[in-house]
Chains A and B, each alone.
Chain A
Amino acid sequence: MSTVDLTINGKAVSVDVEDRTLLVHVLRENFNLTGTHVGCDTSQCGACVVHVDGRAVKSCTMLAGQAAGCDVITIEGIANGDELHPMQAAFRDNHGLQCGYCTPGMIMSSIDIVNRYSGKLDEATVRHELEGNICRCTGYHNIVKSVLDAAGRMKVSQAAE
């Protein structure tokens, strides 16, 4: 067992875990942050993507111990109170989700994509960058639309800040 200190959604926490424990399980089991999902065993599907120190990470690929001292943001931590993150709003407005299971990981990956491309994105780039996230419901059509829409919204919101 090890004690891991980290920050989750802006709150400093400490947790005792078996050394083999994955970050995704700490989030789900210890902190009840069940928005981060597990969809596969091989880090292929991306349902578990969270942000660790500002970068998209598959939380099923990271040991909880590796997150010691890190700043972890999950899907529950990106809205500003009742005000949705622009990526969340774009997914809703563009019908970028159906069953909702891959959605938190998709949104977390997509925010990272937009951040890395500073809002300059085209369809081909979005499709390529979504390589690590699988959706079985939407055929990606509306997810791609959502990301491109959010890229514009995030640019606007950044400019306003």
Chain B
Amino acid sequence: MGVEGIGASVKRKEDRRFITGKGRYVDDIKLVGLTHAHFIRSPHAHARVKGIDSSEAMKMPGVVAVLTGQQIVDDKVGNLICGWAITSKDGSPMKMGAWPAMAPETVRFVGQAVAVVIAETKNQAKDAAEAVVVDYEELEAVPDIRAAIKQGAPQLHPEAPGNVVYDWHIGDEAAVKGAFAKAANVVEMDLTNNRLAPNPMEPRSAIADYDTAEEHYTLYTTSQNPHVARLVLSAFYNIAPEHKLRVIAPDVGGGFGSKIYIYPEEMVALWASRKTGRPVKWTSDRTEAFLTDHHGRDHISKAEMAFDKDNMILGLRVKTHANFGAYMSLFSSAVPTYLYATLLSGQYMIPAIYAEVMGVYTNTTPVDAYRGAGRPEASYLLERMMETAARQLKVDPTELRRKNFITTFPYQTPVIMAYDIGDFGASLDAAMKAIDYAGFAGRKAKAKSEGKLLGIGVSCYIEACGIAPSKAVGSLGAGVGLWESAEVRVNPVGTIEILTGSHSHGQGHETTFAQLISERLGVPISQVQIIHGDTDKVQFGMGTYGSRSLAVGGAAIIKAMEKVEAKAKKIAAHALEASEGDIVIENGEFKVAGTDKSIALPMVALAAYTAHNLPDGMEPGLKETAFYDPTNFTFPAGTYICELEVDAGTGKTSFVNFVAADDFGRLINPMIVEGQVHGGLAQGIGQALLEHAVYDTNGQPVTASFMDYAMPRADDLPSFQLSHTTTLCPGNPLGVKGCGEAGAIGASAAVINAITDAIDNNKLEMPATPNRVWHAIHGKAQ
């Protein structure tokens, strides 16, 4: 490897602008004539909008317009859509309730917009919003799954009887029944996967600018996938034709899934800019973010696992209810189905699996993909089951896991996934060594003698990243292909621009992608510019989520690079009067193998553009494009082990150690990879100990600020001890697997398993707050 090539922990190119305050986020952008939008949002979880009186507001200073839900419907702006069609077990399609960008008739969650004020300043818009009178007729609300599916519950959408979106299943029910019939032991659990708010630190923001002369729209937005935003806005929402809409996502301050989807505010801003003839800006405040950024998780499940007399798993049966909130968000339908149930085999040979998933509407904020999306829910369920099973079967949890590990690859699970490669034993060994698992019994005994409760918890996760291939996901109901594109441009002076459809919201693509080029062409990363996040610059892309950027986007760059190299070698061979087959690339030089003849990359580039001396018939220029569609998912996996102490007097937990051993395939920039793991672990631990988006029985959110929603702070977390084992992914040219979600997928179960070990009580739900833990210790109802 070169000093800046693959495997080097190169410092990030993008950091200088961030640490000097020169990052450019959407809210930092000002346009001439800019107006500001403030949304009027429902204070009720479920209500009928009987009338909106904006006459007083229109007289307020600076007010440009007050626009309502009825107007957006009258202008034939389309309803928001869900892009992945799921079919119920009875063959019927999922039930989609209509979702206008602002509600003309019925609001179904607190925070749903009914109108918007456009004014010269943000404060003027807020002031005028106070003067808009909305007449609501309050309706009974169903804020959780159990209430929503109860007989006689209020119905949210006429299209969805019983508030059921779909009743889906996967696997072989008869085979699972057979497995349980011959089981020596059965382990049963009820599990709740708590609802979370993604909370990127940068609130969502959108600026829409309609140019009347060109009949052209520009949308600056906090998006993880600007091209998909443009596609959906043009193809489904009747807002602007695709060639008349430019979507720009500049620096994006974190996303974690919550900035994948199209939101009503982006649609309204575009529509309002056309209507007012002015640029319109909206920036969320934090409470709006809690109310309207789509949430994550929120499952209740019943799980049963059958074991034979030798503690080998025979079968797994799972029944899950998934809360979708009030409307179906862009990718939501896929999360508890193809991103969740297909991972229920985990790292284990489970001959028979049957999972049922019922999706449910409730009067809450929509739920969609959040870091890991479905896979944390699967991993949590399975790893809590394995730990509980080990205790019930009275065997060591690591031994029970090891005994059931998949050890030969490729391995076809009973739930679609075909794991390409892995070495689960190696990760387990590494983590056990790092935490001195063998010495834990002694530490626990010593702690007990001092009146302390020490616990250890293991979690062996697997995830499916780089969701693919397009043909396969299409057959499962996906509305888009999941390939990625790249263009490699070698400029006449030899500097290089990479245009990619992936887009960074903190993952360091500008550095990692440049390292790929540095490795291949031997140029310093300072000579490589990554261009992303602008639909006018990059032709197309599918964005950043599901740890796909390197496995799919990076692979596309490599494919485009190969084309560039092939042409550059022809030019070099011609210039050096050598055979093309003899040209090798070393340290930025094109050399004739075995001789001292060479030509530097800038001279090859210049030759390509001067075109004075190219091989006969060769097209001038040196730039190539590739679209890469993977042949399979990638399967990162690993083991997390957590050792912690519980204070029996207060129920508070404190970390003794947290070790992570991951297999991400080849690491391009280990420093960045480790940073990604740290962040994921914090979110997984946050879910286990602190975070919970809570609604009261009327559907009022009671955690709508950082004063009520417990975000992990520095003092809540330990420093993490990381290590890596490596099996190279055979499915892409880089051998990479993806690392962004691993921590969030694997950490929660490790923490809860450790606490339940410490307090010797398996019944504990997330978040394991001191209150809950104290009650679990002292045996009282919560």
A residues apposed to B, CB below 8 Å: 18, 20, 28, 32-42, 44-45, 47, 74-76, 79, 84, 88, 91-93, 95, 97-104, 107, 123, 126-128, 130-131, 133-144
Contact = CB atoms under 8 A, between A and B. Distances in A.
B253 interface: yes
B675 interface: yes
B714 A143 contact: yes
A146 B251 CA distance: 23
Nearest to B677: A139
16 contacts: A20-B123, A76-B21, A88-B20, A93-B11, A98-B679, A99-B200, A99-B254, A99-B505, A100-B23, A104-B18, A104-B19, A123-B719, A128-B715, A136-B199, A141-B719, A142-B675
Contacts of A33: 21
A37 B25 contact: yes
Interface stretch (B350-358, B532-540, B705-713): B705-713
Nearest to B11: A92
Contact of A101 (B200, B285, B674, B719): B200
Contacts of B20: 35, 75-76, 79, 84, 88
> Which 6 interchain pairs have the tightest Cβ spacing?
A35-B21, A100-B18, A101-B253, A99-B506, A139-B682, A44-B706
B396 interface: no
A138 B251 contact: no
Contacts of B22: 35, 76
B28 A34 contact: yes
A138 B19 CA distance: 15
Contacts of A34: 21, 24-25, 27-28
B23 A35 contact: yes
A85 B441 CA distance: 48
A97 B714 contact: no
Contacts of A32: 30
B22 to A, nearest CB: 7
B508 interface: yes
B15 interface: yes
Contact of A92 (B16, B28, B251, B682): B16
Contacts of B705: 40-42, 44
A134 B713 contact: yes
B517 interface: no
B682 A42 contact: no
B507 A130 contact: no
A131 B201 contact: no
Given A84-B20, A140-B717, A41 B682 contact: no
A151 B25 CA distance: 30
A42 B200 contact: no
A47 B17 CA distance: 16
B202 A137 contact: no
Contact of B201 (A84, A99, A126, A141): A99
Nearest to A124: B715
Nearest to B719: A141
Given A33-B21, A100-B14, A100-B506, A138 B201 contact: no
Given A41-B287, A137-B679, A139-B720, A95 B25 contact: no
Contacts of A139: 678-683, 712, 717, 720, 743
A149 to B, nearest CB: 13
Given A99-B202, A141-B719, A39 B286 contact: yes
A73 B14 CA distance: 23
A138 B679 CA distance: 4
B506 A92 contact: no
Count chain B CB atoms within 10 A of each CB in A33, A44, A99, A103 and give the residue with the most: A99
Nearest to A103: B18
Interface residues of B, number: 58
B522 interface: no
Contact of B719 (A18, A79, A128, A144): A144
A136 B254 contact: yes
A33 B367 CA distance: 35
Contacts of A84: 16, 19-20
Contacts of B28: 28, 34
Contact of B21 (A75, A137, A143, A144): A75
A139 B287 CA distance: 23
A60 to B, nearest CB: 10
Most buried by B among A35, A45, A137: A137
A88 B714 contact: no
Interface of B: 11-12, 14-25, 27-28, 30, 123, 199-203, 251-254, 256, 285-287, 505-508, 671-672, 674-676, 678-683, 705-707, 711-715, 717, 719-720, 743
B285 A41 contact: yes
B262 to A, nearest CB: 21
A135 B706 CA distance: 12
Which one of B23, B251, B712, B714 has the greatest number of beta carbons of chain A within 10 Å? B714
A136 B709 CA distance: 13
Nearest to B255: A99
Contact of B19 (A28, A92, A143, A144): A92
B25 A137 contact: no
Nearest to B251: A100
A101 B202 contact: yes
B294 to A, nearest CB: 16
Contact of B711 (A93, A101, A134, A138): A134
A107 B15 CA distance: 13
A115 B420 CA distance: 53
Contacts of B720: 139, 141
A73 to B, nearest CB: 11
Contacts of B203: 38-39
B199 A98 contact: no
A92 B15 contact: yes
A40 B286 contact: yes
B526 to A, nearest CB: 15
B719 A91 contact: no
Contacts of B672: 95
Which of B18, B23, B286 is most buried by chain A, counting CB atoms within 10 A of its CB?
Answer: B18
Contact of B706 (A42, A74, A104, A141): A42
Given A37-B253, A123-B719, 11 more contacts: A34-B28, A39-B201, A42-B286, A74-B21, A84-B20, A95-B12, A98-B507, A127-B717, A139-B679, A140-B678, A140-B714
A47 B711 CA distance: 14
B706 A45 contact: yes
A10 to B, nearest CB: 15
Contacts of B25: 34, 37, 101
Given A47-B201, A98-B679, A138-B679, A36 B715 contact: no
A41 to B, nearest CB: 5
A131 B201 CA distance: 15
Nearest to B19: A88
A143 to B, nearest CB: 7
- Max count, chain A CB within 10 A of own CB: residue among B17, B24, B682: B682
A98 B706 contact: no
Nearest to B743: A139
A65 B712 CA distance: 33
A76 B711 CA distance: 28
A134 B706 contact: yes
A84 B720 CA distance: 28
Q: Which of A95, A131, A135 has the most CB of B within 10 A?
A: A95
Contacts of B252: 99
A68 B253 CA distance: 31
A87 B17 CA distance: 14
B174 to A, nearest CB: 45
A38 B142 CA distance: 34
B739 to A, nearest CB: 13
Contacts of A128: 714-715
Contact of A142 (B16, B678, B680): B678
Contacts of A75: 19-21
* Most A Cβ at <10 Å: residue of B23, B712, B720: B23
Contacts of A91: 15, 19
A117 B678 CA distance: 27
B282 to A, nearest CB: 14
Contacts of A44: 705-707, 711
